[in-house]
Structure 1
Amino acid sequence: MTAADAVSRAAPAPAGGDRRRSGYLRYGLGRIGGAVVSLLAVLVTGFFLFRLIPGDPVKTMTGGRPVSAEQLAAYREEFGLDLPLWEQFTDYCGKALTGDLGTSYQFRAPVTEKLGEALGPTLLLTVTAFVLHTALGVLLGTRSAWHHGRTADRLHTGLALTLYSLPSFWLGLLLIVVLSVGVGPVPGLFPTGGMESGAEEGFAHVLDVAHHLVLPVVTLVAVEYGQTLLVTRSALLDEMGSDYLTTARAKGLRDDLVRRRHAVPNALLPTVTLIFVNLGRTVAGVVLVETVFSWPGLGGLFYQALSVPDLPLLQGLFLFFAAAVIILNTVADLLYPLLDPRVGR
């Protein structure tokens, strides 16, 4: 027997924990690598996509005023629109990779600055709606599954499917007509748009913002909670026939304890992944809702940028929304193996 054989026989086998850690490391690096590739693809797609929009941004910015050819040429040179497309592309990618998303045509300000200004209202709307529709979906999905086949289950499931299929902008317009403008004897109870009236300060200002927040949040919650409800219900129904639940009941545990301590924690594994995916979808889907309710966030900024078209601002917003979805999906992929060790082996 050679010395190498002796060393190989004497070396201990890698522990199970080490194998799991190395397997998770390979799994995580693969997911992160895929996310980086997706972000680069978004960077390239965003540049060419918005150049397909008809219209001349320079002529739009002049507001229809008579402008000489020399002035138009000066504007194009100022914004780099006189350069060949390939040179614009390489310049855009080089700056974007360093965090410079360019200068907005219409606001004459850095795109990152405009994104920062509009991010707060969007986060307020998105996080509020996300927390509410997640809690509502999990609660109603759990109750529907535990009492499946009953009238309440059919009502919850039917309503969730109906609302989930509605376009968010259409539902928002309907809520404005009914609850803001008023229909017949129903008075207008909420503002038609905006984030604040602008006259209040202190706690009165908080109440004013909350008053303006109601209809946009209701719109997002109504459209988004259905998917969480359906996934939670389906996962819990799969768990309800498991042997460990029968054993728990045989030990004398109350039905409520069996549901809360045993069935629901295991059934929530796919729902946890969906929660992160839905957060990304909520951020990306807020564009239409903010536009309908004139909410001064990233969605309203996107609508303003489309009207020019403001190419640097559109590219920056597109990159932000796509990055939010990609990053949150990646976080969900990285968390799932920690909750269920069978994933990522």
Structure 2
Amino acid sequence: MAADVTSVPVEETAGPGGAGTRSGYVRYVAGKLGGAAVSLLAVLVTGFFLFRLIPGDPVKTMTGGRPISAGQLAEYRREFGLDLPLWEQFTDYCGKALTGDLGTSYQFKAPVIDRITEALPNTLLLTGTAFVLYTALGVFLGTRSAWRHGSLSDRLNTGLALTLYSIPSFWLGLLLIIVFSVGVGPIPGLFPTGGMESGDKEGIAYVLDVAHHLVLPVVTLVAVEYGQTLLVTRSALLDEMGSDYLTTARAKGLRDDLVRRRHAVPNALLPTVTLVFVNLGRTVAGVILVETVFSWPGLGGLFYQALSVPDLPLVQGLFLFFASAVIVMNTLADLVYPLLDPRVGR
């Protein structure tokens, strides 16, 4: 007689995280959150000491090379806390950062958190648009390449993805500006060379103007980033294609396209889901070069501007924000993955 599976307690069959019980998943979550907290603490410490290795005196840089007395320099250093011992600066920085106070920008004379809040929407517009496009493009082309692996289209897709993925984003951005903004030969300058808006538009005209400025930086990010999603999706789907359940689905008479969409792709997307979370944090943190090249008024451009002073509180705050975005997204991926695949964490 077949075993009565309904009599088996739910918690003992399989739980999220692969631990077999709900408490196992709780331990799994606690471990991941603890690891994230340690990583954030390491970033906090690294950010403080790393940027103090940058040559130059922030106070002298802020004076713009104007003649200034030793007394005035001392007053500036006292105002910004630069006259305190390094250990005292460090403890003060950590204590304030843990409460959300990232200090006051030297050059803007404003709270760092305010400057980040002002520039964040512009960065999210750029990275969010690029993220949606390169994820969709990578998944679509990855599934098509895997299902037709070895074909000419597969070789062309993977070859182009690998080539673009290896190109530095700033170099590709400069190339696009030369070709499509300045114009080369018969190709006219179709797009702005930089910035986010022209400054004289309102309403729908303003939206279209921002979209016009958004094209080249988004194309740059999509071209460089979609290849990784394509390759991971392709590899995962190729691993699934030899599975017995697909052979059974075909034996039942299901169309090849239906087998791919309903059976193979959902299971193959598990690694891609993890990559999506990782890429989301990495794109926010890695947009510095693209924003600088295109003079986009976001966090990346703000970081470059702060680094040139150096504006230590602003640089440290942005570094902490960028690193936190990556850590948080990686942690979310770790927490979501066991819900998709109970074998994780076993």
The TM tier, using the shorter chain, reads over 0.9
SS at match of 2:306: helix
SS at match of 1:192: coil
Contact 2:191 2:212 in 1 (8 A): yes
SS at match of 2:287: helix
Matches within 5 A, 1:296-335: 296-335=297-336
Q: Which residue of 2 aligns with 1:98?
A: 99
How far apart are 1:24 and its partner, in Å? 1.0
Q: Which residue of 2 aligns with 1:295?
A: 296
Q: Which residue of 1 aligns with 2:63?
A: 62
SS at match of 1:170: helix
Q: Which amino acid aligns with 1:198?
A: G
C-alpha distance in structure 1 between counterparts of 2:10 and 2:121, whole Å: 53
How far apart are 1:30 and its partner, in Å? 0.4
Cα distance, 1:157–1:17 mapped onto 2, change above 3 Å: closer
Q: Which residue of 1 aligns with 2:29?
A: 28
Q: Which moved more, 1:319-328 or 1:23-32?
A: 23-32
Q: Which residue of 1 aligns with 2:90?
A: 89
Contact 2:14 2:342 in 1 (8 A): no
Q: Which amino acid aligns with 1:214?
A: V
Q: Which residue of 1 aligns with 2:179?
A: 178
CA deviations on 1:195-238 (whole Å, 9 max, x unpaired) are: 00011100000000000000000000000000000000000000
How far apart are 1:281 and its partner, in Å? 1.1
C-alpha distance in structure 2 between counterparts of 1:110 and 1:14, whole Å: 49
How far apart are 1:167 and its partner, in Å? 0.4
C-alpha distance in structure 1 between counterparts of 2:332 and 2:106, whole Å: 34
How far apart are 1:14 and its partner, in Å? 6.8
Contact 2:288 2:301 in 1 (8 A): yes
Q: Which amino acid aligns with 2:197?
A: E
Matches within 5 A, 1:160-179: 160-179=161-180
Matches within 5 A, 1:201-216: 201-216=202-217
Question: Are 1:285 and 2:248 an aligned pair?
Answer: no
Same amino acid, percent of matched pairs: 85
C-alpha distance in structure 1 between counterparts of 2:21 and 2:154, whole Å: 40
SS at match of 2:55: coil
CA deviations on 1:85-133 (whole Å, 9 max, x unpaired) are: 0000000000000000000000000000000000010000010000000
Q: Which residue of 1 aligns with 2:3?
A: none
C-alpha distance in structure 2 between counterparts of 1:29 and 1:13, whole Å: 22
Q: Which amino acid aligns with 2:315?
A: L
Q: Which residue of 2 aligns with 1:3?
A: none
Q: Which amino acid aligns with 1:142?
A: T
Structure 2 stretches of 5 or more lacking a match? Answer: 1-8
SS at match of 2:21: helix
How far apart are 1:15 and its partner, in Å? 3.9
How far apart are 1:13 and its partner, in Å? 11
Q: Which residue of 1 aligns with 2:219?
A: 218
C-alpha distance in structure 2 between counterparts of 1:164 and 1:25, whole Å: 38
Runs of 4+ in structure 1 off by over 6 angstroms are none
Q: Which amino acid aligns with 2:213?
A: H
CA deviations on 1:172-201 (whole Å, 9 max, x unpaired) are: 000000000000111000000000001110
CA deviations on 1:222-278 (whole Å, 9 max, x unpaired) are: 000000000000000000011111111111100100000000000000000000001
Question: Are 1:231 and 2:226 an aligned pair?
Answer: no
How far apart are 1:20 and its partner, in Å? 2.4
Q: Which residue of 2 aligns with 1:272?
A: 273
C-alpha distance in structure 2 between counterparts of 1:186 and 1:16, whole Å: 64
C-alpha distance in structure 2 between counterparts of 1:20 and 1:49, whole Å: 43
Q: Which amino acid aligns with 1:292?
A: V
SS at match of 2:141: helix
Q: Which amino acid aligns with 2:123?
A: T
How far apart are 1:280 and its partner, in Å? 1.0
Cα distance, 1:14–1:189 mapped onto 2, change above 3 Å: closer
C-alpha distance in structure 1 between counterparts of 2:316 and 2:307, whole Å: 11
Contact 2:287 2:300 in 1 (8 A): yes
Cα distance, 1:248–1:304 mapped onto 2, change above 3 Å: same
Cα distance, 1:103–1:247 mapped onto 2, change above 3 Å: same
How far apart are 1:17 and its partner, in Å? 5.8
CA deviations on 1:271-324 (whole Å, 9 max, x unpaired) are: 000000011111111000000000000000001101110000000000000000
Q: Which residue of 2 aligns with 1:119?
A: 120
Cα distance, 1:27–1:153 mapped onto 2, change above 3 Å: same
Cα distance, 1:256–1:203 mapped onto 2, change above 3 Å: same
Cα distance, 1:93–1:341 mapped onto 2, change above 3 Å: same
How far apart are 1:22 and its partner, in Å? 1.2
C-alpha distance in structure 2 between counterparts of 1:272 and 1:287, whole Å: 25
Q: Which residue of 2 aligns with 1:5?
A: none
C-alpha distance in structure 1 between counterparts of 2:54 and 2:24, whole Å: 46
C-alpha distance in structure 1 between counterparts of 2:85 and 2:151, whole Å: 65
Q: Which residue of 2 aligns with 1:48?
A: 49
SS at match of 1:102: coil
Q: Which residue of 2 aligns with 1:196?
A: 197
Q: Which residue of 1 aligns with 2:78?
A: 77
C-alpha distance in structure 2 between counterparts of 1:13 and 1:233, whole Å: 35
Q: Which residue of 1 aligns with 2:247?
A: 246
C-alpha distance in structure 1 between counterparts of 2:227 and 2:84, whole Å: 49
Matches within 5 A, 1:147-162: 147-162=148-163
